[in-house]
Amino acid sequence: MSMFCYQCEQASKGTGCTQVGVCGKDPRTAALQDLLVHVAKSVSRCAHRGAAHGVKNRAADLFVVDALFATVTNVDFDPQRIAELIRRGLVFRAEMKRACQEACRASGQSFTDLPGNGELQPDAELDELVRQGEEVSVRRRIDALGEDVAGLQELIAYGLKGMAAYMNHARILGVEDDDVYAFVHEALDFLADEPTDVSALVGMVMRVGEVNLKVMEMLDAANTGAYGHPEPTRVRVTPIAGKAICVSGHDLKDLKMLLEQTEGKGINVYTHSEMLPCLAYPELKKHRHLVGNYGGAWQNQARDFDAFPGAILMTTNCIQEPRESYRGRIFTTGLVAWPDVAHILADATGHKDFTPVIEAALAAPGFPVDAEEKRITIGFARNAVLNVADKVVEAVKAGQIRHFFLVGGCDGAKPGRNYYTEFARQVPDDCVILTLACGKYRFNDQEFGQIDGIPRLLDCGQCNDAYSAIQIALALAKAFDCGVNELPLSLILSWYEQKAVCILLTLLYLGIQDIRIGPSLPAFVGPNVLKVLVEQFNLMPITTPEQDLAAILGDSCAESAGSAAK
């Protein structure tokens, strides 16, 4: 079997993975994921077109979001679990299709399913589902529609995938919005028609960015409503003696449940990678056995987990193929999965029993002694920064702060990401660096000092916390009575997967220009589409830290904004 996937930054040769995914995805899994997205489009067609006739199915809403999230890079690698999602979706599609046909017939209208969907059956064997997945592959659409049209369709699809991840996290904490579900169905129905009009496609791209801003606001409300606003916190990044559990991924509720179930059991809990910001939330850090962060970004997990003498819990992306050395003590939960890795399911109320994880931790040796103590400072989400906004504004007006750099996004293994380390090191001492997501691991262990008591490195949190960075920028623009593009602020972004894509679309929707992105441009953005993005937003690839810093700090707009602030 061959495959084609180019949804992540590490696509082979910068064009696409054709034999096996750089992420570890095999061709069967790739075909099943393509089919799952196709089934989601079919369910959304029923949901969108049936809505006008009163057809509503909450289970179908949740299925579509789960289906999109499951196909995000480094989430679900288990063909059997993906096949079960497909079968579930086909059941919803059949139910909703009947309801739509009856409602349309009653109103004298007709309902048409997607072409070729008659052969999709929920009782199909795995091999048959794989074959059907090959029939609706990304490669076939590229061959039929061309690079630009297919790439724009995929840009929309990938933005929706990232949005679905944020929707899933918010829903788990009880925050949902019917209008957002309706938009996802509308956008997938739009894609199901295989649109070729570039203007219509670009318009939908901007709408994805617009709605994703609302979704990020929902997630921010969910996290802060449940666990309080993050606070500036000095956190330990070296282990202490004792039994241990390492929690990776992004899900705050999973961590909270685990902390409650490990209370008083003599087990120390560590965050890993994107879970690091959890140590700044009041309702999470109050658990004394949440002792610190272990390891670095997601792509180093094999090395990190191999050396970790305890149990490991993966709550969402980004999982890599587990080594045999820790396969027996790593667990997955939620939508993340790997074949033959123990999975923790939720009951009907959402509760999860982490007893297997706890037992594995107690059976493992744990850390024998305390390591040398080292700490870093986190917790500068929007609430913490805006509480000192007046001080920040005064520092700009006094000429103490010349420029702000948002240097953040996804980390990854592909060469070229040392750019972000060098860029942060070379940022002048009178400039402030905001950062978020796991890209910060490239430089968050270094000392950057302060400007009049304001730390020069402000960690805004997870990629899920991009809303904080946006709100900080908007608040500064309001304080200076100017547009965001007139601020002495530059965005230097790294991307890897589809959550980064939807954040980028939100930034473009907000009209933010001059964004530098790397380490490479998306393979699904063809040259003609890139030309539009460059002309409209001046989106540009990173070059070298020296060249980019010189261009930014020598830019007349940035200088005039700084002068106006004074």
**pLDDT digit string (tens) for 339-396?**
999 999 999 999 999 999 999 999 999 999 999 999 999 999 999 999 999 999 999 9
Q: What is the rounded distance in angstroms from the CA atom of residue 554 to the CA atom of residue 488?
A: 11
Instruction: Please give the biggest Cα pair distance in the chain.
Output: 75
CB atoms within 10 A of CB 486: 16
Pick among 1.20.1270.20, 1.25.40.340, 1.10.240.10, 1.10.287.1080: CATH of 12-226: 1.20.1270.20
User: Domain limits of the chain?
Assistant: 12-226, 233-363, 379-565
Per-residue model confidence (pLDDT) at position 137: 94
User: For 252-286, what is each residue's pLDDT tens digit?
Assistant: 999 999 999 999 999 999 999 999 999 999 999 99
Per-residue model confidence (pLDDT) at position 563: 43
Instruction: For the chain, give the mean pLDDT.
Output: 94
Question: For residue 519, what are its two tokens?
Answer: 């380490």
169: left (phi over 0), alpha (psi -120 to 50) or beta: alpha
Place of tokens 């910060």: 440
State the angle between helix axes of 27-51 and 178-192 in degrees (0 to 180), rounded to the nearest 10: 110
- In 349-399, alpha helices (H): 355-363, 382-386, 389-397
Q: What is the rounded distance in angstroms from the CA atom of residue 512 to the CA atom of residue 506?
A: 9
Q: Indicate the helix (H) or strand (E) that contains 79.
A: helix 79-106
> Cα-Cα-Cα-Cα dihedral of 212, 278, 358, 249, to 10°?
40
Q: Which of 455, 456, 421 is nearest to 439 (CA)?
A: 421
Beta strands, E only, 320-419: 330-333, 343-344, 375-378, 403-409
Place of tokens 């942060």: 424
Per-residue model confidence (pLDDT) at position 560: 39
Residues 6+ apart with CB under 8 A from 157: 37, 191
Separation of CA 13 from chain center: 23
**Residue 69, beta-bridge partner list:** none
Per-residue model confidence (pLDDT) at position 119: 67
Q: Which of 438, 396, 405 is nearest to 545 (CA)?
A: 405
- Is the CB of residue 149 less than 8 Å from the CB of residue 205? no
Per-residue model confidence (pLDDT) at position 117: 64
Q: What is the rounded distance in angstroms from the CA atom of residue 160 to the CA atom of residue 158?
A: 5
Per-residue model confidence (pLDDT) at position 115: 64
Domain 233-363 grouped into CATH 3.40.50.2030: yes
Question: For residue 171, what are its two tokens?
Answer: 């829903």
Fill in the DSSP letter of residue 76: B
Question: For residue 122, what are its two tokens?
Answer: 């929920």
Per-residue pLDDT of the chain (566 residues; tens, 9 = 90+): 789 999 999 999 999 999 999 999 999 999 999 999 999 999 999 999 899 888 899 999 999 999 999 999 999 999 999 999 999 999 998 898 888 888 888 888 877 776 656 667 778 899 999 999 999 999 999 999 999 999 999 999 999 999 999 999 999 999 999 999 999 999 999 999 999 999 999 999 999 999 999 999 999 999 999 999 999 999 999 999 999 999 999 999 999 999 999 999 999 999 999 999 999 999 999 999 999 999 999 999 999 999 999 999 999 989 999 999 999 999 999 999 999 999 999 999 999 999 999 999 999 999 999 999 999 999 999 999 999 999 999 999 999 999 999 999 999 988 889 999 999 999 999 999 999 999 999 999 999 999 999 999 999 999 889 999 999 999 999 999 999 999 999 999 999 999 999 999 999 999 999 999 999 999 999 888 888 899 999 999 999 999 999 999 985 333 433 344 33
Place of tokens 């909270």: 256
- Is the CB of residue 250 less than 8 Å from the CB of residue 316? yes
Question: For residue 389, what are its two tokens?
Answer: 């906004």
Q: Indicate the helix (H) or strand (E) that contains 244.
A: strand 243-248
User: For 285-317, what is each residue's pLDDT tens digit?
Assistant: 999 999 999 999 999 999 999 999 999 999 998
* Fold of the domain spanning 379-565: Rossmann fold (3.40.50)
Q: What is the rounded distance in angstroms from the CA atom of residue 278 to the CA atom of residue 269?
A: 12
Residues 6+ apart with CB under 8 A from 399: 430, 562, 566
Question: For residue 253, what are its two tokens?
Answer: 């509720």
Indicate if 379-565 has the same CATH topology as 233-363. yes
Can you count the helices (H) and strands (E) in the chain?
A: 20, 16
